[in-house]
Amino acid sequence: MSTTLATRGLNIPAYDYVSNTYTGDNLTQTVYRRNGSSGPIVATLDYTYDGNNNVVTITKT
């Protein structure tokens, strides 16, 4: 089953696999793929943090 995410203008296309990357306790990247873990990437979110570990930006590519 595919999922679509449309939160605050991110408009992530349909996907069925998500992988997350962390630096310490901070989520730094989320990769969305279609057709499983080796399928094409449909979107990537990169997160940046300030000195207090608060999310400052989320960039979609």
Cβ atoms of 14 and 27 within 8 Å: the answer is no
The widest CA-to-CA distance across the chain, in whole angstroms, is 39
Q: Report the distance separating Cα 31 and Cα 36, nearest Å.
A: 12
pLDDT of residue 44: 97
pTM of the model: 0.83
Tell me the C-alpha to C-alpha distance, in Å, between residue 12 and each of 24, 25, 50, 51: 26, 24, 25, 28
17-60 residue pLDDT tens? 999 999 999 999 999 999 999 999 999 999 999 999 999 999 99
pLDDT of residue 51: 95
Cβ atoms of 48 and 27 within 8 Å: the answer is no
pLDDT of residue 9: 75
